[in-house]
Amino acid sequence: MRDSAGGPRDTAAYEYALPDELVAREPAAQRDGSRLLAVGAGDATRDLTFADFPELLRAGDVLVVNETLVVRARLRAVRDGGGAAELLLLRPSAQAAFDPAARDWLALVRPGRKLRDGTRLRIGTAGVSVVGVLPDGPRIVRFDADVDVGRLLESHGEVPLPPYVLRPPRADGQAARDAMSDAARAARYQTVFARVPGSVAAPTASLHFTHAVLDTIRARGVIVAPLVLDVGMGTFRPLAGATVDDHVMHAERYAIPAQTAAAIAAAKGEGRRVIAAGTTVLRALEGAALGNGRVPAGEGETTLFVTPGFTFQVVDALLTNFHLPRSTLLVLVTAFAGYDRMRNAYRVAIEKRYRFFSFGDAMFVERA
């Protein structure tokens, strides 16, 4: 099934076969040493490295980056009566912005069947209770009044690395040895410009940037403009249902500074490109512009799910990683670049042994 713009709406259309060895379980040795697939018109592609990325930009372009910082939001707990549990704090339940002073939090939990309403947990000496179960699975958890959540996250929290970066067991049943420590991988799961705490997943397209690359970009006359989108369940929750229309996005908070809004307005007025460093930036900008096509300064929340037929009003080109099958991010990129064009780009990337997902390689594409 295709919509009027020619893009498929069946979830199955966003499936593809990926060899397991192409899943990047560790980052490249150097951030800007990742490979970069530049996707041109039709089937044209170019093989570059990320250090070449500035060459794809023009003087006057506005490159928008996401300054969000990934929180140490994964907490390992023990249930009263024994048994291990895990919490992933998504956001305070009563507000959109990250706030370590909040007591009530929206959280993903494991094991879900055993963490019912009223369950008590201990994280070190800190107490926390499940006080609500939402229809789609997350819990509302309440920390005891004497718990400093900020300090607890610093002392006991872990950066929530995606499960696919963990090494699978070896054939003999033993865990494979990692070339990089967990601490080193967690450090590489932050961008070099991460500044504002609030995300539970990294804006992965920006993991390739170095300060040297950013200096080269600015020297070419490109304006680098920041915003913040707190990456949460809305970004990484897999597609549900037989078609993309069955999926409901969770809200994610964004904040757009006045200088960024002004830089975008000037670029659009003068016919210069606005380039999104990642799908999180694209969602923030296009979500903010839904009303009248202009990007206002300020904070907001977006539930935008970009699907085939979406009318893009802000972003002209996109830097992005290669995304999971049947993911909302793959649908977004396909809607932006065109279905056949993206199918070809992914085919080329697999044939040329690009690395996929969060620690993988990157792609640059202009809007179809």
102: domain CATH number? 2.40.10.240
Q: Do 254 and 359 reside in the same domain of the chain?
A: yes
Q: Which two tokens stand for residue 330?
A: 């793959």
pLDDT for 233: 76
Q: Is 310 a member of any domain? A: yes
CB 207 within 8 A of CB 162: no
Domain boundary among 158, 175, 206: 158
Per cent of the chain over pLDDT 90 is 83
For residue 176, pLDDT beyond 60: no
Same domain, 48 and 112: no
Global pTM value: 0.93
pLDDT at 41 over 50: yes
Query: Can you give the C-alpha Rg of the chain in angstroms?
Result: 21
Structure tokens that stand for 356 in this block: 């996929």
* Same domain membership, residue 283 and residue 223: yes
Nearest C-alpha neighbor of 60 from the set 270, 259, 201: 270
- Whether residues 330 and 247 share a domain: the answer is yes
Residue 6: pLDDT above 80?
A: no
For residue 136, is pLDDT > 90? no
Residue-range definition of the domain harbouring residue 150: 74-158
Q: Which residues contact 351 (CB under 8 A, 6 or more apart)?
A: none
Report the 3 state secondary structure along 268-303.
Answer: HHHCCCEEEECHHHHHHHHHHCCCCCCCCCEEEEEC
Burial class of residue 173 (count of CB atoms within 10 Å of its CB; 0-12, 13-18, 19+): exposed
Residue 122's contacts (CB-CB under 8 Å, 6 or more residues apart) are: 77, 78, 80, 128
Q: Are residues 216 and 331 in the same domain?
A: yes
- In this structure, the answer to whether residues 149 and 29 fall within a common structural domain is no
pLDDT, one tens digit per residue, over 196-219 is: 999 999 999 999 999 999 999 999
The more confident residue out of 366 and 181 is 366
Q: Are residues 114 and 196 in the same domain?
A: no
What domain count does the chain have? Answer: 2
> Do 205 and 304 lie in a common domain?
yes
pLDDT at residue 237 above 80?
A: no
Q: Which residue has the higher pLDDT, 326 or 136?
A: 326
Q: Identify whether residues 51 and 98 lie together within a single domain.
A: no
Using 50, 70 and 90 to split pLDDT, how confident is the model at 183? confident
pLDDT (0 to 100) of residue 4: 42
Among 331, 352, 63, which Cα is nearest to 223's? 63
Task: Indicate whether 224 and 246 sit together in one domain.
Answer: yes
Between 15-29, 230-244, 258-272, 327-341, the lowest mean confidence (pLDDT) is in 230-244
Query: Is the domain of 151 the same as that of 234?
Result: no
Q: How far is CA 139 from CA 44, 94, 124, 268, 302, in A?
A: 47, 13, 20, 42, 21
| Contact assessment for residue 271 and residue 60, using Cβ atoms and an 8 Å cutoff | no
Q: Would you say residue 176 lies in a domain?
A: no
Q: How confident is the model at residue 179 (pLDDT cuts 50, 70, 90)?
A: low
pLDDT at 38: 98
